[in-house]
Amino acid sequence: MSFGSQFGNLQSKMFPVYFSLVVACCAVSLASFELRSAFIATNFEVATAVAKILNYATVVAKLLRP
């Protein structure tokens, strides 16, 4: 057996592992992007709700002023 045939055999064995690793990394990257997008949307919704509450509070305070 020569070194070349052993290396070729190793390549054919490692290709599925390499492909699986690339797919797993892409999946983790996509999932983290989705999570980040959801987190930003949630923060925006919370900030909007707080702004509405503060706006209502100022309107009520103006109405209650003598």
CA atoms of 42 and 36, how far apart (whole Å): 10
**Tokens encoding 7:** 């290396």
- Express each pLDDT in 8-51 by its tens digit: 666 677 777 888 888 888 888 887 877 777 777 787 787 887 88
pLDDT of residue 40: 78
CA atoms of 26 and 32, how far apart (whole Å): 10
Local structure of 60: helix, strand or coil? helix
Q: Convert 33-45 to b/e letters by CB count within 10 Å (16 or more is b).
A: eeeeeeeeeeeee
Say what the pTM is: 0.47
**Tokens encoding 62:** 């103006």
